[in-house]
Amino acid sequence: MDLSGIGRYFFNGEVMLKALPLLASGLVMTLKVSCVVIGIGFGVGLILALIRTGTAKTRVVGKVVGFLIRLYVDLLRASPYLVLLSFVYFGLPFLGVNLSTFWATVITFSACLSAFAEETFRAGIEAIDRGQWEAARSLGLSFFDTMRHIILPQAIRISIPALTNWTVAITKAISMASAIALPDLLKQARWAQGIFANPSPLIEAAVIYVLLFFPLVKLTLFLERKWGKLV
C-alpha cells in the first residue's frame, strides 16, 4: 500500500477540473434516463394497479388479469437488473429488435420500476376503507370519478414512502447501464480515467452520485418515520 499517492491519484484537482465537462455530459444523460424511467415506470405501474383493482370484482376476468399482472410483477422483481438489461440489449437483436443503449436502458428500468410501483399503488388503493367506495358509488359517482376524486388522492399519499424508496433504488441501479456503454455519469468517468490515466474522475463521479442521492436517501428515511412503512 502506498498512501502517498492518494493526493495525486484520488484527489488530483487539475485532472478533476479537466474531466468536468465530460462528467457533466454524463450527468445530463443519467438525469435524462432517470426522468424518463420514473415517468414511464410510475405511469405503467399506476395503470396496471388500476386494471388489477378495477377487475378484481369480476370473477373470471379478475382472476386471469390478476394472475397475469402478478406474474409480470414477480418475474421483474426476481430478475437482476443487469441480467435483464443484458438480455434486452444483447438478446433481443436476435429477434430483429435492435434498441439503442438509451432505449434498452429506459425499457429495462421502466419495466422494473413499474413492477414495484404497481405493488405499491395497489397496496395503497386496497388500504382505503371499502365504505368510501360504497359511499361514493351510491352518491352516483362513476368508477373513474370515485378513483380520481376519492381513492387515488389518499392511496397515493400512503404510497409515497415506499415509492420514494424504490425510485431511489432503481435510479441508483441505472448506473449499471454503463456496462452496455450508455454514456452516463459512470461511463464518462471511466472514460476520463482512461484518458488521464488517473482515477480522480472516478472519485469525482462517486462524489456527484452521493451528493445526488444523499438528500433522497434522507428523504426516504424521513418519510418512513413520518408516514410509516407500508410495503
Q: Name the DSSP class of 97.
A: -
Which C-beta is closer to other proteins: that of 60 or that of 211?
211
Nearer to other proteins among residue 46 and residue 84 (C-beta): 84
Residue selected from 47, 128, 172, 223 as contacting other proteins according to rule CB under 8 A? 172
Q: Counting contacts by CB under 8 A, is residue 68 touching other proteins? A: no
Stretch that binds other proteins, among 19-27, 51-59, 102-110, 211-219 (CB under 8 A): 211-219
What is the residue type of 175? S
- Which residue's CB is nearer to other proteins, number 142 or number 231? 231
154 counts as binding other proteins under rule CB under 8 A: no
Q: What single DSSP character describes residue 73?
A: H
Alpha helices in the chain (DSSP H): 13-54, 59-78, 81-86, 101-127, 130-138, 143-145, 152-173, 185-196, 200-227
User: Distance between the two ends of the chain, CA-based, in angstroms?
Assistant: 45
Burial 198-208 (b: 16+ CB within 10 A, else e): bbbbbbbbeeb
Whichever of 120 and 146 has its CB closer to other proteins, that residue is: 120
* Residue 118 near residue 49, CB atoms below 8 Å: yes
Of 10, 72, 102, 227, which lies in the binding site for other proteins, with binding defined by CB under 8 A?
A: 10
Which residues here bind other proteins, judged by CB under 8 A? 1-3, 5-6, 9-10, 74-75, 77-84, 86-87, 90-91, 94-95, 123, 169, 172-173, 175-176, 178-179, 186, 189-190, 193, 198-199, 202-203, 205-206, 209-210, 212-214, 216-218, 231
